[in-house]
Amino acid sequence: MDSMEAETLFRLVKEKYGDKIKEDELEEVKKAVEKIVETSMELRKVELGNWDEPFTVFKPYRRDEE
């Protein structure tokens, strides 16, 4: 886990939502951010090619084709 990335993201969360999180909950939020970074690191270990697209299809919209 990249502790600097986790620390930076935690600071961002605290900056955005700190007024809604109680002091004793901050440690749990920090642990959860660390877990998210750890999970992301697992994803980043897998090599992807430029042509590996998201598995979600975007379709331009026209009402008459609904």
∠ CA 44-47-33, rounded to 5°: 5
| Chosen residue from 3, 4, 23, 53 binding other proteins by CB under 8 A | 53
To the nearest whole angstrom, how small is the minimum distance from the Cβ of residue 1 to other proteins? 12
Q: Tell me how far, at minimum, the Cβ of 3 lies from other proteins, in Å.
A: 14
Q: Given the complex with other proteins, which of 4 and 42 has the nearer CB atom?
A: 42
Q: What is the largest CA-CA distance in the chain?
A: 55
* DSSP per residue, 6-39: HHHHHHHHHHHHGGGS-HHHHHHHHHHHHHHHHH
Q: Rule CB under 8 A: which residues touch other proteins?
A: 9-10, 12-13, 16-17, 19-22, 25, 28-29, 32-33, 35-37, 39-40, 42-46, 48, 52-56, 59, 66
